[in-house]
Structure 1
Amino acid sequence: MSDWEVHAVKYADRNARVRGDSFIFDDNHDAPHAMDYFIWVLRQGSRVILVDTGYDAEEAASRDRPIRMDPRAALAPLGIAPEAVEQVIVTHLHYDHAGGLHLFPNARLHLQAAEMAYATGPCMCHDVLRMPFTAGHVCEAVQRLYSGRLTFYEGDGEVAEGVTVHCIGGHSRGLQCVRVRTKAGWLVLASDAAHYYENVFKRKPFPIVVDLQNMLDGFTRLETLASARGLIVPGHDPLVRRLFPQGPADHIVRLDTGPQDEKLLTEILS
């Protein structure tokens, strides 16, 4: 089978943040630290797998976290019609990753069993753990389950030839990363197993965490899964758009060719 194309599609950003929002331990905690929000597209010929869905305008208004474009519009330059999407890998059920499940009504979901158990279990009695979830998004996943359109994984699993998922946990109990075979080698979409390059390469944990040891161990796992450290793609880092070449629109970058800015890559990895 041929390799996969991989695109990172930015649909939102949040600039009113500081480093203390991104790292538990940081000496410069009040310095500005922007965040980008992505969905990812895997393509092999006519076959498309979506990784996460973003969130819509209703969720944006509810949380006062505006989006720059609806996820469906963000995907349009890649020629993807929402109703034609048949497979969605859900890295975890936080609002910014599963908030658009209803926008892709015909898709089968691929989710870790541990994530469903976490999002519907007693941990959600705690406000601080429940905060990143929205009940309607979790209910949408449950509805897909009851309609026979949800596949569960227990740890490692294969979604398609050349596409595997791996449970990391840490940030959320059933958080999974996605490993994709590309012409540049095995690329790892970390999602929120590493929000930023600095999380994984400096071993600096993100503050929203259910299991700190799993998060820290997960940084090493990401490096083990990728063919090269530069092929780990964090879930929210604006540097991704500088490191990889632009795609068919300003908000899309292509990842499967590998990083293009060698100077920036050296800085990131050092």
Structure 2
Amino acid sequence: MSEWEVFSIKYADRSARTRADSFIFDDNHDAPHEMDYFMWLLRSGDEFILVDCGYDDAEAKARDRPIRRDPGAALAPFGLKPEDITQMIVTHLHYDHAGGLHLFPNARLHMQAAEMAYATGPCMCHGTLKMPFTAGHICEAITRLYSGKVTFHDGDGQIADGVTVHKIGGHSRGLQCVRVKTRAGWLVLASDASHFYENLWAAKPFPIVVDLEDMLNGFTTLQTLASSPNLIIPGHDPLVRNYFPSELDDFIHRLDAGPSKDVAR
């Protein structure tokens, strides 16, 4: 079975947040709680798979959430241009994970059928559920579908030898995590199935949720899929940059060899 190198790529961050923005039922809800924004790159020889694609300057201005680097330009340290990406796993269609779809015009998108149905269905009549989506991003996904460049998965699916996706739900109806075979074992990119290590290890749900039971059950699924607790990578936790070494640039961190120390639980 192929083994993959896995890199986190930080493209944005937010410091004006509190723990109430990250955890339901948290006693220390007024304390500051920062968030990082990542996309991820998988590499095996000459083969690359991008996991999520961030959002662009236009979305940053619209939401007043600045980005530090353009997601397409962030691939330059790997010698890649956005046009070089031909396979992309979209964990879900929220703006910060699918807002840069148009930047990668040659990418075939892999997503859960449930996510497209959710983002284009009656749930979007509710402002609270619609808030993390942007209509233009969904239209781009639909355009890609009509161009024959979307592969839908229903539950578990294989993207390549050593790369699989698994439907979690909870945070969004069709949220999926990504399981990757690495030299350290099976690594799981949780994406927003666990925004922070604390969501997972303290079983504290994130406040943006469509199905709380699915979110809580997803914490168990992540642990089942990974070879080690150290190999579960949360979607937005700045601590990832403390546990894993930087490589190529200070915003890129190498994940596939495992953390430099055990992850605190």
TM-score normalised by length of structure 2: 0.99
The alignment partner of 1:177 has SS state of: strand
Structure 1 spans left out of the alignment, 5+ residues: none
SS in 1 for 2:77: helix
Q: Equivalents in 2 of 1:244, 1:80: separation in Å? A: 22
Letter in 1 for 2:184: A
What's the counterpart of residue 102 of structure 2? 102
**1:27, distance to aligned residue in structure 2 (A):** 0.6
Name the CA distance, whole Å, in 1 between partners of 2:148 and 2:82: 19
> How far apart are the structure 2 equivalents of 1:218 and 1:119?
20
Q: Deviations over 1:112-164 (max 9, x none)?
A: 00000000000000000000000010011101111100000000000001000
Contact 2:73/2:81 (8 A) holds in 1: no
Q: SS of the residue aligned with 1:250?
A: strand
Partner SS for 1:71: coil
Q: Secondary structure at the match of 2:246?
A: coil
- Contact 1:242–1:261 (Cα < 8 Å) also in 2: no
CA displacement, residues 194-246 of structure 1 (integer Å, 9 cap, x when unaligned): 00000001100000000000000000000000000110000000000000011
Does the 8 Å CA contact 2:73/2:82 hold for their aligned counterparts? no
In structure 1, how many angstroms separate the alpha carbons of the residues matched to 2:189 and 2:145? Answer: 25
1:222-233 alignment, distance < 5 Å: 222-233=222-233
Summarize the alignment of residues 8-157 of structure 1 with structure 2, pairs less than 5 Å apart. Answer: 8-157=8-157
Partner of 1:250: 250
* Separation in structure 1 between the aligned mates of residue 25 and residue 183 of structure 2, nearest angstrom: 37
In 1, the alpha carbon distance for the partners of 2:230 and 2:25 equals: 24
Greater alpha carbon shift after TM alignment, 37-46 vs 1-10: 1-10
* Structure 2: 5+ residue stretches without partners: none
C-alpha contact (below 8 Å) 1:86/1:108 kept by paired residues = yes
Query: In the aligned structure 2, how far is the partner of 1:259 from the partner of 1:15?
Result: 24
Structure 1 range deviating more: 72-81 or 184-193: 72-81
* Aligned residue type for 1:173: R
Asked whether the equivalents of residues 155 and 167 of structure 2 are also in contact (C-alpha less than 8 Å), the reply is yes
Structure 1 position 75, deviation (Å): 1.5
- Identity level (%): 72
Q: SS of the counterpart of 2:208? A: coil
Quote the Cα distance in structure 1 between the aligned partners of 2:261 and 2:241: 10
Alpha-carbon distance in structure 2 between the residues aligned to 1:99 and 1:257: 29
Task: Report the residue type matching 1:145 in the other structure.
Answer: L
SS of equivalent residue, structure 1 residue 50: strand
Query: In the TM superposition, what is the alpha-carbon distance from 1:78 to its structure 2 partner?
Result: 1.6
CA distance in 2: counterparts of 1:192 and 1:228, whole angstroms: 19
Partner amino acid, structure 2, of 1:144: R
How far does the alpha carbon of each residue in 1:2-61 deviate from its partner, in whole angstroms, 9 at most, with x for none? 310000000000000000000011110000000000000000011000000000000000
Partner AA of 1:10 in structure 2: K
Kindly provide the amino acid, as one letter, of the partner of residue 192 in structure 2: D
Task: Report the Cα distance in structure 2 between the residues aligned to 1:79 and 1:55, rounded to whole angstroms.
Answer: 21
3-state SS in 1 of match to 2:247: coil
The offset of 1:261, in angstroms, is 2.5
Q: TM-score, normalised by structure 1?
A: 0.97
Q: For 1:207, what is the secondary structure of its paired residue?
A: coil
Q: CA deviation at 1:76?
A: 1.1
Partner of 2:237: 237
Are 2:2 and 2:161, in contact at CA under 8 Å, matched by a contact in 1?
A: no
Q: Does the 8 Å CA contact 1:172/1:209 hold for their aligned counterparts?
A: yes
2:197 matched residue in structure 1: 197
For 1:2 and 1:162, the matched residues in 2 are separated by 5
Segments ≥4 residues shifted beyond 6 Å: none
Structure-2 residue corresponding to 1:5: 5
Q: Secondary structure of the residue that 2:97 maps to in structure 1?
A: helix
1:101 Cα shift?
0.3
The count of residues paired between Structure 1 and Structure 2 equals 265
Q: Separation in 2 of the partners of 1:9 and 1:116?
A: 25
Mapped contact 1:189–1:232 kept (Cα < 8 A): yes
* Alignment-mate amino acid for residue 243 of structure 2: L
- Paired with 1:258 and 1:188, the residues of 2 have a C-alpha distance of 11
